[in-house]
Amino acid sequence: MTGVLGAPLSPRKHQILGEACTLIARDGYAAFTMRAVARASGLKLGALQYHYRTRDALLRALAAFIAHEYHEGFDAFRVDSAKSSRGLHALLDYMAVESISASLQAHRLFPQLWAMAMVEPVMQELLDEIYATYLAFIEDSLRILGVAEPRGDALLLMSMLEGLTLFVEPQRRWAADSDAVLEALHTLIEVRYGMQAGSA
């Protein structure tokens, strides 16, 4: 993958940014400090600063890394879903099972990014860009189903899918109810859009 300015990302930088994601997912966004990332990466602070001189530089690189990982996973899903007749059902299964990218620990990372976005404009920009792509895909899927004004439905579906992260993903309070929630969402899609959940 490439870095913030389009240059190839070295294996060391890839490792640092992956460790930063793990740190935030595990300990919360407040744990994202230069010293903590250095420790997690097995580096001295000075060695980390050789790669990223400041926390702001590290944060911007992290945002670019997350965006790349997200888009790589979602683009692969879009290629596969183009061969399927399942549309929104396939998206629901993808979000529930793949959670964007296992490497990002998305079900734990993204709630922390939402909180981080309240105080870090670069994270707000990242999330806005990611969800704009996500929303456009849902809108396009709804247009194919004949929904003339799909924005409201698309935002509603996106909100419900993202809600899975907060309530029924692994280690959440209602994780044991995840199958029932997914079945209810599949039924909602069938009833509202006349779209069966059967295989491609």
Answer yes or no: is 167 within a domain: yes
Domain that holds residue 169: 60-193
106 is a domain residue: yes
pLDDT tens per residue across all 200 residues of the chain? 544 445 678 999 999 999 999 999 999 999 999 999 999 999 999 999 999 999 999 999 999 999 988 888 888 888 777 666 677 888 888 777 655 445 566 678 888 999 999 999 999 999 999 999 989 989 998 998 889 999 999 999 999 888 887 888 777 889 899 889 989 999 999 999 887 555 44
pLDDT at 93 (0 to 100): 81
Rounded to whole angstroms, how far apart are CA atoms 77 and 95?
10
**Per-residue DSSP letters for 115-171?**
HHHTT-HHHHHHHHHHHHHHHHHHHHHHHHTT-SS-HHHHHHHHHHHHHHHHHTSTT
Tokens standing for 54? 């400041």
The pLDDT of residue 98 is 55
Task: Decide if 33 is inside a domain.
Answer: no
**Residue 149 placed within a domain:** yes
Is residue 41 in some structural domain?
no
Does any domain span residue 16?
A: no
Count of domains observed in the chain: 1
- pLDDT of 94 reads 79
For residue 39, give both structure tokens: 């420790």
| pLDDT at res. 85 | 63
**Torsion sign across C-alpha atoms 98, 100, 102, 106:** negative
Is residue 116 assigned to a domain? Answer: yes
Residue 39 lies in a domain: no
- Residue 58: what pLDDT? 97
Output the pLDDT for position 199.
47
Q: Please tell me the pTM assigned to this model.
A: 0.81
pLDDT of residue 104: 61
Phi and psi torsions of 2, nearest 5°: -110, 160
